[in-house]
Amino acid sequence: MQDEIIRYENVGVSFGSKKVLSNFSLNIPKGKKILMKGKSGVGKSTLFKTLLGFEKISEGSLYYRGKLLNPQLSWQVRKEVAYVSQNTDLGEGPVKALLEEVHAYRPNRKKMDPEKLHMFMGELELEEDILEKNFENLSGGEKQRIGILIALLLGRDVFLLDEATSSLDSGLKKKVADNFLKHGDWTLVIISHDREWEREEVEIIEIGKTDPIEE
């Protein structure tokens, strides 16, 4: 299918002898918005990491734009998909330097648009002076918003958001959700416990509802 972005087919992942995911199937076409829910430890984040090549699947197949995922393709995914990690330890030093470093990576060159930067910062309610502050001294919520800011600045249209809004206040959660959901052409895969993401246009998927089957 032309419009298919990501497809999990009976995917299973194990860490050593522990099975964190089994028999997971999901087809994500372009423009689709999916909210993944489920208790922590059921392997939601792992689904993102397998696509990015940070965890290996132990069974089943994973396709990106119709092609079976392999090491080369996972490098391609990293250039085309914007990932907001649940972990907010993104770096150190002034925020501005952090943004510059990200834009110095080959696939991201020429994408740092000051106008866009200020627009996104406004939407995320980030003050101008945050750019001069050291990232490691920011609050959890600020760090999280910088992660979202970077993802937006990259100008990509497939997003993997892993608990991207967990530390924001409810007004801001809604605002962030609105901003992401208003783009009909964006493909969004969201892991979140926040109700603000539960909208009409968002398909909700429960992960790990049935216990993993022992073999």
Partner 1 sequence: MTSPDISIPSLMLCFFLLVIPLAISYRIKLHISWTTIDAVARMTVQLVLVGVFLTYVFDLNNGALNMAWVLGMVIIASYSTIRNIELKMEKLLLPVILSFIAANLSVLMYFNKFVLDLGNLLEARYLIPIGGMILGNSLKGNIVGMGVFYEDIRRNENRYIYNLSLGASMYEALMPYIRKCLRSALRPTLANIATTGIVFLPGMMTGQILEGASPMLAIKYQISIMIAIYVSTTMSTVFSILSTIHTTFDEYGLVKKEIYREKGKKKENKKRI
Q: Where on the chain is the footprint of partner 1 (CB under 8 A)?
A: 15, 45, 49, 52-54, 71, 74-75, 78-79, 81, 83, 85-87, 89-91, 101-102, 104-108, 150, 154, 162
CA R_g for the chain = 17
Name 170's Cβ contacts closer than 8 Å, sequence gap at least 6: 196
- Per annotation, catalytic residue among 136, 163, 196, 198: 163
- Is 59 considered catalytic here? no
**DSSP bridge pairs for 7:** 27, 63
Compute the least distance from the CB of residue 174 to partner 1, in Å: 26
Give φ, ψ of 46 to 5 degrees. -60, -35
Cα torsion angle, 40, 42, 45, 49, sign: positive
Rounded Cα–Cα distance for residues 164 and 84 (Å): 6
- Whose Cβ is closer to partner 1: residue 41's or residue 171's? 41
- Whose Cβ is closer to partner 1: residue 5's or residue 154's? 154
- Whose Cβ is closer to partner 1: residue 150's or residue 190's? 150
- What is the signed CA dihedral for 180, 128, 108, 1, rounded to 10 degrees? 0
- Whose Cβ is closer to partner 1: residue 92's or residue 198's? 92
Compute the least distance from the CB of residue 171 to partner 1, in Å: 27
Compute the least distance from the CB of residue 200 to partner 1, in Å: 30
Compute the least distance from the CB of residue 86 to partner 1, in Å: 6
Active-site positions read 163
